Amino acid sequence: MSLDRFYPIFDHTDWLERVLPLGIKLVQLRIKDQPDAVIREQIAKGRDLCAQYGCALVINDYWQAAIDLGVEWLHLGQEDLDEADLKAIQKADLKLGVSTHDDDELERVLAIEPAYVALGPVYPTILKKMKWHQQGLPRVTEWKERVGSIPLVGIGGMSVERAPSVLEAGADIVSAVTDITLNADPEARVRQWIEATR
């Protein structure tokens, strides 16, 4: 299955209810600091909403809940990889995407045959305090050469205006968070994203 080139990330299903009707086909639910019952309720709701709109749902971090609730896609950061049961994830046939920031991380991830590789932050980002400075567009090109046919996601400091350059540099998919969630009109911004990436 080929993934859509626009990959927004949201922290609550309220966002999915707002943006899925606009035509999003790939979305990540990244829930932070919630009790297990809330996490599972959110994942189940996200799964049902995405099924209704024909959208691929990626769950960040909560691999066991993703398996239990029958979600197809999972995203793990490097720290999450240390704690996740990769055999259980493979056995459940979850498609796994992983964040990478440097050579060692990329080598480690390629060894587990991911469904996609994310590189970030391509530009400076306000979302997370990171030890990595911006990777820049040349790095996107280098990563794409190294991952070959595996889809490459560019993330970090993304905007509609920057998306074309990142795709031209070699990314297959561009991921955005605050460019949408902090926008005065998130729905209009999503429409611009869809236009810019399709």
pLDDT tens digit sequence for 103-126 = 999 999 999 999 999 999 999 876
Tokens 């997370």 -> residue: 128
Assign residue 94 a region (left: φ > 0; alpha: ψ between -120 and 50; beta: otherwise). beta
**Confidence check: pLDDT of 170 > 70:** yes
Q: What is the predicted pLDDT for the residue at 40?
A: 98
Torsion sign (Cα): 75, 78, 79, 85: positive
All domains of the chain, ordered by start, with CATH?
6-197 (3.20.20.70)
pLDDT tens digit sequence for 120-169 = 999 987 666 656 678 999 999 999 999 999 999 999 999 999 999 999 99
Long-range contacts of 11-14 (CB under 8 A, 24+ apart): 12/42, 13/42, 13/45, 13/46, 13/49
- Rounded to an integer, what distance in angstroms lies between the CA atom of residue 28 and that of residue 198? 19
**Confidence check: pLDDT of 1 > 60:** no
Tokens 């599972």 -> residue: 40
**Overall pTM surpassing 0.85 (yes/no):** yes
- Rounded to an integer, what distance in angstroms lies between the CA atom of residue 180 and that of residue 161? 13
Q: How many CB atoms lie within 10 A of CB 23?
A: 15
Among the listed residues 154, 91, 165, the one whose alpha carbon sits nearest the alpha carbon of residue 119: 154
In three-state secondary structure terms, 172 is coil
Strand 6-10 and strand 173-176: the pairing is parallel
